[in-house]
Structure 1
């Protein structure tokens, strides 16, 4: 008969090796795990229910929840007061995380100010770094000296244009496993929003680049969710490729995410427009998350069959859910696992893909990563 119990080592292996025996014992101390049964040799023994509870703890911890919050979540208590307390604690944790992100963003900006300099500034850059090592900031005079260093470094930029490609070489993470076209697409997204960290959140399905190029070569239809998105498209290049541009919510007064979401629920014409979309079109959803969710549902029911979906709506609850649904849809996709940016970057994606197709029609580097 197979032993129904797990040792603490087997327990940690059962949950994928993401915790150590020491962490398990710590969870016992905090009350996250109930007391374990003991063997005749006084070793801890665990059941599959214990393993399932530990997997829940690990999953919630990886999502960013603190252990004290996980403890309350695992109580499965529907008491209103407890839920209200937990919501307050989660709001406090959220604000603390935002403050930490702000501090890290300041650090990143300082590093970008040094690393992002081009060759014209390298001599002055070396002098600044040398002076930073000797800087004393205990007094107000020291702070003024630091400000003067940045002013000296900034003065050097007025004599020449910024070398964006050189800056990106210093700042972008290692992208050796990406195709040339994909690297260009990521670079264009960074240059569009000025946020290098966005590279870590961009999700491109394996066949997305191929689907976009094949669709554009076949003069596919480009469909945006609102006019504010399609207005940012490179009309000249797309016309050169023979791609027709159309809009689901064809209302020029809908210009932001709030209006786009309201139009989704209050109007019905957009759904009729979606039904008219040609097969193998490219859809770009840049504002309304509910439209992206509806698109994913229509795809699952085989009501529409786009070649590619660029899903980058803005939102704090619906948008992340819609993007996850897109990733699971099986349709080629490009999305960003963040709540911001939206329509502008959706248009940047289409423009970058169109430009690369015209500039490098015979490039097949993107097929090597499939």
Structure 2
């Protein structure tokens, strides 16, 4: 009978995922795992049911769920699904409020650290004044607003030096190639959110594939006119690339419209894409999902820049793209949009023209 059980060490080795005995003991304490049976020597003993439960916990945690969410998901049966949905909605709003507060903190830090060389004296003065700030009354809060107003007034003296600001705010990119670091910097500048760096994904030698395709006068396809309008037409023409639009309807002004039009009218146009093209999807998640279907049926783009907008279909389409064999550039989750997708293409075209002999990206497993 002893052979039917696993020790806590054997349990963690079986589950994998960097699981440790300490984490297992913590899951017992917070109620995620039931207390195990004990041996005569008082050792914890686990069953295959415990293995499955722990694997569920690991999988959900890897997807970003907090332990409180995981406990609710595992404990709630299907009959109370509506109650669970309400509880998760409440927790989602709580998380969003926390993110908003963190965003405010980040904005304050960016306001100090993002100052360029011309503002460094002002930065030192600002830090000194913040240390002396008294905010015990409402007047104190007004004093803080006055400080920001005085610091902001100095920004009229000179144009912003974006490169200097990014040096202080971007995470360490020394392990990235020069071209990838430049791409990430341009994406951050396009949206104003430094945290985007953590969500950008490049796969299957994307940079090499992009440079090879663009230097071979490939077809460049955007999903909607708004995305194509943001392409650097001058550089693409210099490279000899023909630009086309998949959903060529000038009246489309939103992701919702693009989604509906493509779903009903344009899916068959994917089969007409040229082999070795670069496809840029910035609006409709159904386009990206249909592209993944078409890849399985034989189309072979050289690169897909997939950054559609959406809250359920877009993340699903991006996950499928990242599992494909095609080189890709995408953003995890709901982040994305037509401007970011176009900026990614433009950065690649610019780097190819400005540094045609650069091979720094070849050492990467991007």
Contact (CA 8 Å) 1:248, 1:271: kept in 2 or not?
Answer: no
Partner of 2:319: 324
Question: Counterparts of 1:204 and 1:20 in 2: how far apart (Å)?
Answer: 31
Contact (CA 8 Å) 2:270, 2:294: kept in 1 or not?
Answer: no
Shift of residue 128 of structure 1?
A: 1.4
* 1:357 aligned onto 2:352: yes
Contact (CA 8 Å) 2:134, 2:140: kept in 1 or not?
Answer: yes
Unpaired runs of 5+ residues, structure 1, are none
Give the TM-score normalised by structure 1: 0.93
Question: Counterparts of 2:192 and 2:31 in 1: how far apart (Å)?
Answer: 45
* 1:276 aligned onto 2:263: no
Partner of 1:177: 175
Unpaired runs of 5+ residues, structure 2, are none
Alignment of 1:7-18 (within 5 A): 7-16=7-16, 18=18
Partner of 1:208: 206
Question: Counterparts of 2:296 and 2:308 in 1: how far apart (Å)?
Answer: 19
Aligned residues, how many?
365
Cα distance change, pair 47–122 in 1 and its aligned pair in 2 (3 A) = same
Shift of residue 30 of structure 1?
A: 5.3
Partner residue of 2:364 out of 355, 360, 369: 369
Question: Counterparts of 2:134 and 2:76 in 1: how far apart (Å)?
Answer: 54
Alignment of 1:95-244 (within 5 A): 95-244=93-242
Question: Counterparts of 2:66 and 2:114 in 1: how far apart (Å)?
Answer: 36
SS at structure 2 position matched to 1:3: helix
Partner of 1:297: 293
SS at structure 1 position matched to 2:320: helix
Question: Counterparts of 1:223 and 1:25 in 2: how far apart (Å)?
Answer: 53
Contact (CA 8 Å) 1:224, 1:284: kept in 2 or not?
Answer: yes
Question: Counterparts of 1:158 and 1:76 in 2: how far apart (Å)?
Answer: 57
* 1:48 aligned onto 2:48: yes
Question: Counterparts of 1:32 and 1:220 in 2: how far apart (Å)?
Answer: 53
Cα distance change, pair 101–43 in 1 and its aligned pair in 2 (3 A) = same
Partner of 1:345: 340
* 1:264 aligned onto 2:259: no
Cα distance change, pair 27–182 in 1 and its aligned pair in 2 (3 A) = closer
- Cα deviations by residue, 1:293-332 (Å, 9 ceiling, x for unpaired): 110111123x200000000000000000000000000110
Contact (CA 8 Å) 2:302, 2:327: kept in 1 or not?
Answer: yes
Contact (CA 8 Å) 1:69, 1:86: kept in 2 or not?
Answer: no
- Cα deviations by residue, 1:137-163 (Å, 9 ceiling, x for unpaired): 112332232222212211221111110
Question: Counterparts of 1:229 and 1:119 in 2: how far apart (Å)?
Answer: 35
- Cα deviations by residue, 1:221-274 (Å, 9 ceiling, x for unpaired): 00111111111111111011000011111111122100011012221xx23321
Shift of residue 96 of structure 1?
A: 0.6
Contact (CA 8 Å) 2:224, 2:252: kept in 1 or not?
Answer: yes
Contact (CA 8 Å) 1:300, 1:329: kept in 2 or not?
Answer: no
* 1:85 aligned onto 2:74: no
Question: Counterparts of 1:273 and 1:64 in 2: how far apart (Å)?
Answer: 36
Cα distance change, pair 203–107 in 1 and its aligned pair in 2 (3 A) = same
Question: Counterparts of 2:2 and 2:42 in 1: how far apart (Å)?
Answer: 20
- Superposition RMSD on alpha carbons, in Å? 1.9
Cα distance change, pair 19–95 in 1 and its aligned pair in 2 (3 A) = same
